Amino acid sequence: MENSDELLLRLIDLLNEFDKRKNWIQGFCYTELYDQFQEINGLLTLNREPKFPSSKLKTKLDKM
C-alpha cells in the first residue's frame, strides 16, 4: 500500500464485495492486524499505531 488512505479504500472495497454477497457469506477474518518487517499491509504499524482512525472502519462495518 502506498499510504493509509489507500489501505482504508481497499478495505472498504473488500467490505462492499462482502456486503453484496452477504446471503452466502457468514463472516470474515482480517488476518493482517499489524505490519511485519516483510509486509506492510496491517491495520496497525510495526509500532502498533493505528494507520487510520478506527471510527472510519467502524462506520462502514455498522452499515453492513
- CA-to-CA distance for 44 and 57, rounded, in angstroms? 13
Q: What are phi and psi of 20, to 5 degrees?
A: -65, -30
Specify the pTM.
Answer: 0.77
Q: What is the residue-level pLDDT of the chain in tens, covering all 64 positions?
A: 678 889 999 999 999 999 999 899 888 898 989 999 998 889 999 999 999 999 999 999 998 8
Q: How many domains does the chain have?
A: 1
Query: What is the model's pLDDT at position 1?
Result: 62
Query: What is the model's pLDDT at position 26?
Result: 87
Question: In which domain, by residue range, is 32 found?
Answer: 4-63
